[in-house]
A and B are shown apart, each in its own frame.
Chain A
Amino acid sequence: DAGVTQSPTHLIKTRGQHVTLRCSPISGHKSVSWYQQVLGQGPQFIFQYYEKEERGRGNFPDRFSARQFPNYSSELNVNALLLGDSALYLCASTPWATDTQYFGPGTRLTVL
């Protein structure tokens, strides 16, 4: 079985631009979560979606938004990029009735 996949692998943007990151969960997993990991820190929760509905939101500004599609894949959108948005963005999927999260390889976003 394929693991969680994310695209793109790396991305370079300039301040003020918009970015869309994509995630495909493990087949059969209906829950997707997004995390931001700044260098030297642990991942920080951004969003969780289950069955296309937002089930949780971390302490991030409204510039961050996400959605989940009928095939359970997900997009994370960030508007008006700031230098501080530079980080590794991680997607994780979770099978129903378990608490284990399976992380993808992440998307490295650099904002110049």
Chain B
Amino acid sequence: SQKIEQNSEALNIQEGKTATLTCNYTNYSPAYLQWYRQDPGRGPVFLLLIRENEKEKRKERLKVTFDTTLKQSLFHITASQPADSATYLCALGGHSGAGSYQLTFGKGTKLSVIP
């Protein structure tokens, strides 16, 4: 069965450093991979999407890489700030078309940025 693992349940990092979160998957050939941020008691917020034929995507202080051979994605937050503290979710999606948008999520990594 499909399995998604996010490297750790919790990650503590000093303000200003780069946070790196890992997402590994097995028994899956996703068309794309997404990263979401979720604050306590709230719905996930979309951050970045990277497709199977892309190696890297950037958005402001965020960078995501996607290695379909290793079946792994890395999510980086540079110059981290306390406001970046949240749970980050990795989600895989199949091939869209005919309105199919099912996402399979990992458990998430809780990031704490320490001032």
- Of the four ranges (under 10, 10 to 19, 20 to 34, 35 or more), the interface on chain A belongs to 20 to 34
Q: Tell me the number of A-to-B contacts counted with CB atoms below 8 Å.
A: 74
Residues of chain B at interface, number, CB under 8 A? 27
Q: Which of B41, B45, B107 counts the most chain A CB atoms within 10 A?
A: B41
Of the candidates A48, A90, A102, A106, the one whose C-beta lies within 8 Å of that of B100 is A48
With a cutoff of 8 Å between Cβ atoms, the chain B residues found around residue A96 in the complex are 99
Bound Cα distance A96, B96 (Å): 10
Give 1 or 0 for each of B25-42: 1 = CB within 8 Å of chain A CB: 000000110101000011
Shortest CB-to-CB span from B17 to chain A, Å, is 25
With a cutoff of 8 Å between Cβ atoms, the chain A residues found around residue B98 in the complex are 50, 55
Sampled A-B contacts (7; CB under 8 Å): A40-B107, A44-B105, A45-B103, A97-B96, A99-B93, A106-B41, A108-B41
